[in-house]
Structure formats: structure tokens, C-alpha cells
A and B are shown apart, each in its own frame.
Chain A
Amino acid sequence: MSVDRRNNRRDTEGCSVVTANRLLDGRIVWLDAQGKWQLTIAHACLFPNDGMEDVLRSQSARAGADNVVGVYGVQVEQTAHGPCPRTTRERIRADGPSVHAEFTPLWQPAPAVVSGS
């Protein structure tokens, strides 16, 4: 699956995280240090930008096995609260839509809705 070049740009220096969407539900996920995909960017592993091409090549190759699509890199700044993407787009991906504060990355449906009532 091709990735919009705008979303996969990074500086020569600095660091990035790896992101994708889960196949089954499309939810945004971030690659952690153990190679697992997590729902929150706080768990994302930082990679130096100069090694990102190799990381992305390797992760894209195993996207099918991991049940994710659209693997790409996101340049971040390190903050006290964890990695923070440089761009508005990626901050929205990391935090959820700005117009529904309740729809955080860890949002779950209420039990009554899940049971179909």
C-alpha cells in the first residue's frame, strides 16, 4: 500500500517513530521496542532518522504478518509526555480527532452497545 510522501518526510537528523493502521479495524498503531504494535504513541520506540529507511523496509515486509497496513515513519520531538509528532496531522493521529475529546486512542464502546442493545 503506497504512503503519501507528505506523511513520510523526515530530517537527516532527529528521531522518528513507526506507525500504521490495523487491518481489522483501521485503528492507528505505533511500533514499540519489542516489535509489537500499540494503540498509544507513548509506547512507541524512537529510531534515529538516519536508520529509518531500513526500519521501514523491514516493518513493511512484515506488515501482512502483523495485520497492519500503510507502514510509515513519523518524525517526533521528545517531550516530558513522550514522543510528540512535529506535524498537526500526526498529532491528530496520535491523540484522536480534536473535535471529540472522548475519542482518544484507547476509546472503547460502552458494554451496552457492544451487546447490541
Chain B
Amino acid sequence: MPHSSQPPADVGRYAYDAVDRTFLKQRVEQFRDQVQRRISGALSEDEFKPLRLMNGLYLQLHAYMLRVAIPYGIVSANQMRTLAHIARRYDRGYGHFTTRQNIQFNWIRLEDTPDILNILADAEMHAIQTSGNCIRNVTSDQFAGAARDEVLDPRVHAEILRQWSTLHPEFTFLPRKFKIAISGSAQDRVAARFHDIGLLARMGENGRAVFEVYVGGGLGRTPVVGVKLRDDLPEEDLIAYLEAVLRIYNAYGRRDNIYKARIKILVQALGLGAFRDEVNAEFMAMDRSRYRLQPEVVAAIRARFASPVFEDASAASAQLVAQTKADPAFAAWVNINTHPHQQDGYCSVTISCKPAGGIPGDVTSAQMDLLADMADQYSFGELRITHLQNVVLGHVRKDNLFALWQALSAKGLGTANVGMITDIIACPGLDYCALANARSIPIAQKLSQRFSNAALQQEIGALRLNISGCINACGHHHAGHIGILGVDKRGEEAFQITLGGNSGEDASIGQIIGSAMSEDETVDAIARIVDTYLVQRKPGERFIETCRRLGAAPFKDAAYATA
């Protein structure tokens, strides 16, 4: 519940008030003291580690990594400039957007961290819930509040879940981390079925929202497609029901084996029916009035998000048509990187952070500044980080697209490849991550170069290619139409290929097609897999559809064919 009724400042972003700001400052000073005690030796590394992780600070391969929370992916232009400043001053000039819509800095010094968190707090940002066995940053649809197919703005409920889950005393030490995604559209753009809890909202009777609730999905060592727990959860019971789910998980989830501690293992062990019975029993026993989400509370939260004031853009579409006719490259970018908007004359723009041969999700501090400037100039000062490691400007006038595209292209951000084979998801891999078995980035760069030809990409069409450097699956390889999993073969990196994964309404888990290969062999094998698709597909058939129709055999034959 908001603590005051002061008007919101930034479009699309929940406005903090004095209580929020005071809390963050106190949290920074608490961590500053913890860091000092660690440096002085008063705290051992074993004592300090859980404290730094609660503030998003990991010790990775080469240095400390700070993961900054971006609640449901929304960031203002000024916040983006703050991130650019941190990258420039405290990192090595880069930030890396993650699959939880957060940002990571790979070269952070422990002794700088309190100052960085203080700078973030001044910008109403933090690193809370980006690590540890708690409810992590709630992710949401990157087109929230803008998409033409949206039935409700999921950011309001994502914010409600953020406030409910932040420092929740019962759920700060769960058996394992817990990930929630929420979509306000029937189209699942948040991979809801691969989350511990996935929520798909729709408008119910009386104009009030209801939610489909999926539970027990996830990737990692044991990939599982989530199952539907409730079909029509009323908005007023959202908090109570999720609290019941979390309580059952907290009570029965395994704490003896880290690899069996996620809720997906519990749901499988109990069976969906028994798990649902447990949740319902807990739900019925709760004091529902205490947890009821009243309409006025939802309205008060909604009021803390400033809405864009749209102009009359009725002539914008005609101008865009003329500009696309004059420039085929621009036309391709518009066709591939824009999404229909609720408001006539506007669209949402996905800015690809995957240039040919680039590092997926990496942006320089200069690019961050440009993104902020573009947001101020063309999208009400608001940006969204996507779980596909790109950036969205939510509300762009169509007659501004050409100028936007030109400015982005000048700084390497104008690539037209969203949803294509080079729009690769990749984790940081062995170049940075202490857990990884293999490097994800170099193979992503080689594949990006291999398929960089725009005409070839359009010929191939929609194809999701995801790369993880280890079985923890931060690159979502199981959910890729083509997935790559890095493995360790006696100290040398190698790569397995998976086929048939998908993260939408027809979610499926990619299956390994054979033994691991070297990096270059894997790149060649994927090229042959794509060639097989191009030969075997029926008219209009996407890669995943051909894959499902034919099964893995012809693709496996192609992958392991020798020249």
C-alpha cells in the first residue's frame, strides 16, 4: 500500500515516497557497516557471504558482480543514466541485461559497493531480491501498459507482489530461490510456464481481473513445464493464494538437497492434485480478510504509476508508410522490431542489444546514455528491459521511428533481428561466471556472425536460439527452439545441442540430440540444422513447427553429418 498520495513522477514507474527512500538509505548504511566489518576482519567470509548476497553482490570469476534489481523491467531515463554512471565510474564501461530483466556489473570492488548502493538509492533503485533463497525480482511483459492485446496492466499487480514479497519475514529463507512472472495479456510473453509461479491475467466478470495460476515450472538441472493450479483466481485473493502456495512450499520443500529444493520438485513429488489440496486447505484456513486485495488498494497502487499523455498522432502512420517505402532497411527494422500499441499512431519498439557478432545483453555506458536520451525524446522518459536481454521503448510515435532508428543505428543499436536466430539469449558463461562449465558468449558471437545476413535471417524467420554455459540454464537453453548447453569434458569446454524447446502457450522442453561437440563443430552443426529446416519446411511453417512435425531425427542426422 502506498504511504502517501503524492503524485507520481515518472511515466510507467512506481513512484517512491519518503518511507521508501528512508528504508533504502537505512539499508545502504546497514550494508556499509557490514562491509567495514568484513574488511576489518570482524566478519569471516562465511559470515559475510549471505549478507552480501542479500544485497546482490556475488564473487564471480574475475571480480565481484553486482546485480541491480529492475522491478518488472521498468527503468526511467534518469535511472538508466545512473546505471551508465555506475558502469563508467565503478565498472569497466559495460552493463549486462539479464533474463530476469535486471542488470549486472561484472567488475565491482567490494569497498565501492556501499557507495554504489547509495547512488542507486538516490535514483530509487537497489539490489534487493536479486540473490538468495527469497522471492526474486518479479518479471513482467515488456509491452505492459502499451500492448494492443493487453487486458490489464500487469505492472500494477507486479508492484503489489513486489511490496508483498520484499523482506517478507516468512519467505526470506525459503528452501530455494523463487521466481514469479506475470502477464496482462493472453499471449504469454513472460515464459509463465517456466516459473515457480506464472500468472496470466484476464478480465473477469464485473470488470475485475482474474488470474490463471501456473506452478512448478522452471529450467535448470531439472527442466519442468509448469502446471495450471487455478484457472480463475480473483484479484482480491491474489496475495492470499500466493501466500498459501509459498507456505506449502516453505513447509514441505526440501532443504536437504539443493538440487531438489525448488517448488517444481515438490509439486512433482506430491502430484498436482495433492499439492493443490494442500494449498487449498491452507488458503481456506487463512484469515482471508487480512489478505484481501481491496479495489481501493489496487487503485492506489495504480495511481502511483504516471500514465503517458498521448498526442493526436493520426497522421503518423501515413508518414511512416512513406518513410518505409523510401528505405528498405528501415522498413525491415519497423517490421521486425515494433509491436502494436493501444494508441493509434504509436507503437512499442524493441531495441536489439544483439548486433552482429556482439555480446548478447551487453551495453556500454555510452549506449546506456543514448538509450536514456532516446527514451526522453521519444517515449516519455521510460524504458523496459526484456527477459530476452533487449530494451523496449513502450510508446513511440510512428512518425518518430525513422529518427529513432537513425540515432540507434549510429551507436550499434539499430539491428533488425528481434525474434530471429541472431536475437540470442546467452548467459555470461565461463568468461565471467564462477559456476559455468563453458563460455556462452564466444559461440553466441560466432553464430551471430554466421547468420548476420539480414535476408538469410528473414528467410529463416522466427527462431529462438538460447545458450547456457552450464546446467543451471541461466541462458534458458531448454526453452530455445535450438538450445546450446555448455559442458565440461575433462577441463575442456564442449557443447550439447537441444531441439524443440518453446516458452509460450505451447511450452515445451528442448531435448538433447546427441553428444557434445567443440565450439566450431557446434556452430557448423547448427548451420546444418537450419539448412535442414529450410529444405524440409512446409509453406509458412516456423522452425519449431517443422521440428515438432518431423521430430529430432533429420536434424540430428544433419547435426552429426560429416563433410
Given contacts A98-B439, A103-B92, contact A88 B63 (CB under 8 A): no
**Interchain CA distance A39-B492 in the complex, whole Å:** 24
Contact: B92 with A92, CB < 8 Å? Answer: no
Specify which chain B residues have a CB less than 8 angstroms from the CB of A113 in the assembled complex: 88-89, 93
Contact: B431 with A98, CB < 8 Å? Answer: yes
Partner of B359, one of A1, A99, A103: A99
In the assembled complex, how far is the CB of residue B128 from the closest CB belonging to chain A, in whole angstroms?
A: 21
In the assembled complex, how far is the CB of residue B537 from the closest CB belonging to chain A, in whole angstroms?
A: 34
Which of B431, B442, B492 has the most chain A CB within a 10 Å cutoff?
Answer: B431
Given contacts A26-B59, A27-B63, A70-B59, contact A6 B92 (CB under 8 A): no
B110 within 8 A of A: yes
Partner of B491, one of A24, A26, A87, A96: A87
Specify which chain B residues have a CB less than 8 angstroms from the CB of A1 in the assembled complex: 45-46, 49
- Interface hit among B36-44, B180-188, B298-306, B408-416: B36-44
B interface footprint on A6-35 (CB within 8 Å = 1, 0 otherwise)? 100000000000000101111110000000
Contact: B60 with A99, CB < 8 Å? Answer: no
List B464-494 residues whose CB lies under 8 Å from chain A: 488, 491-493
What would 14 A/B residue contacts be, using CB atoms closer than 8 Å?
A: A4-B434, A21-B63, A26-B63, A26-B64, A26-B110, A87-B491, A88-B430, A88-B439, A89-B436, A92-B61, A92-B431, A96-B62, A98-B442, A99-B359
Given contacts A1-B45, A1-B46, contact A97 B431 (CB under 8 A): yes
**Interchain CA distance A39-B81 in the complex, whole Å:** 32
A interface footprint on B262-273 (CB within 8 Å = 1, 0 otherwise)? 000000000000
A64 within 8 A of B: yes
Partner of A6, one of B46, B359, B441, B488: B488
In the assembled complex, how far is the CB of residue A79 from the closest CB belonging to chain B, in whole angstroms?
A: 16
Given contacts A89-B491, A103-B92, A116-B89, contact A25 B64 (CB under 8 A): yes
Residue of B nearest to A28 (CB): B62
A interface footprint on B59-91 (CB within 8 Å = 1, 0 otherwise)? 111111000000000000000000000001100
How many B residues face the partner with a CB closer than 8 A?
39
Contact: B38 with A23, CB < 8 Å? Answer: yes
Contact: B89 with A69, CB < 8 Å? Answer: no
Contact: B442 with A99, CB < 8 Å? Answer: yes
**Interchain CA distance A109-B90 in the complex, whole Å:** 9
**Interchain CA distance A52-B110 in the complex, whole Å:** 29
List B437-460 residues whose CB lies under 8 Å from chain A: 437-439, 441-442, 445
**Interchain CA distance A99-B39 in the complex, whole Å:** 31
Which of B62, B93, B437 has the most chain A CB within a 10 Å cutoff?
Answer: B62
List A73-109 residues whose CB lies under 8 Å from chain B: 86-89, 92-93, 96-100, 103, 107, 109
Contact: B492 with A87, CB < 8 Å? Answer: yes
B111 within 8 A of A: yes
In the assembled complex, how far is the CB of residue B81 from the closest CB belonging to chain A, in whole angstroms?
A: 15
Contact: A24 with B109, CB < 8 Å? Answer: yes
B108 within 8 A of A: yes
B14 within 8 A of A: no
In the assembled complex, how far is the CB of residue A106 from the closest CB belonging to chain B, in whole angstroms?
A: 13
**Interchain CA distance A21-B107 in the complex, whole Å:** 13
Specify which chain A residues have a CB less than 8 angstroms from the CB of B60 in the assembled complex: 26
In the assembled complex, how far is the CB of residue A51 from the closest CB belonging to chain B, in whole angstroms?
A: 22
Contact: A21 with B59, CB < 8 Å? Answer: yes
Specify which chain A residues have a CB less than 8 angstroms from the CB of B63 in the assembled complex: 21, 25-27
Given contacts A26-B110, A116-B89, contact A99 B441 (CB under 8 A): yes
Given contacts A1-B49, A88-B430, A88-B492, contact A97 B39 (CB under 8 A): no
**Interchain CA distance A6-B110 in the complex, whole Å:** 26
Given contacts A88-B491, A99-B445, contact A64 B62 (CB under 8 A): no
B432 within 8 A of A: yes
Contact: A88 with B92, CB < 8 Å? Answer: no
Partner of A25, one of B109, B441, B491: B109
In the assembled complex, how far is the CB of residue B439 from the closest CB belonging to chain A, in whole angstroms?
A: 6
**Interchain CA distance A25-B93 in the complex, whole Å:** 16
In the assembled complex, how far is the CB of residue B155 from the closest CB belonging to chain A, in whole angstroms?
A: 34
Residue of B nearest to A2 (CB): B46
Residue of A nearest to B109 (CB): A25
Specify which chain A residues have a CB less than 8 angstroms from the CB of B89 in the assembled complex: 113, 116
Partner of B92, one of A25, A28, A107: A107
Specify which chain A residues have a CB less than 8 angstroms from the CB of B38 in the assembled complex: 23
**Interchain CA distance A19-B222 in the complex, whole Å:** 33
**Interchain CA distance A26-B110 in the complex, whole Å:** 7
**Interchain CA distance A99-B44 in the complex, whole Å:** 33
Specify which chain B residues have a CB less than 8 angstroms from the CB of A93 in the assembled complex: 61-62
Contact: B110 with A25, CB < 8 Å? Answer: yes
Specify which chain B residues have a CB less than 8 angstroms from the CB of A6 in the assembled complex: 488
In the assembled complex, how far is the CB of residue B484 from the closest CB belonging to chain A, in whole angstroms?
A: 16
Specify which chain B residues have a CB less than 8 angstroms from the CB of A27 in the assembled complex: 62-63
Residue of A nearest to B63 (CB): A26
Contact: B430 with A89, CB < 8 Å? Answer: yes
Specify which chain B residues have a CB less than 8 angstroms from the CB of A4 in the assembled complex: 434-435
Specify which chain B residues have a CB less than 8 angstroms from the CB of A21 in the assembled complex: 59, 63
Residue of A nearest to B108 (CB): A26
In the assembled complex, how far is the CB of residue A12 from the closest CB belonging to chain B, in whole angstroms?
A: 16
Specify which chain B residues have a CB less than 8 angstroms from the CB of A107 in the assembled complex: 92
Specify which chain A residues have a CB less than 8 angstroms from the CB of B359 in the assembled complex: 99
Further contacts, 20 of them, CB under 8 A, given A70-B45, A93-B61: A6-B488, A23-B45, A23-B110, A25-B64, A25-B109, A26-B109, A27-B63, A28-B62, A70-B59, A87-B492, A89-B61, A89-B437, A92-B61, A92-B439, A99-B359, A99-B441, A99-B442, A103-B62, A103-B92, A103-B107
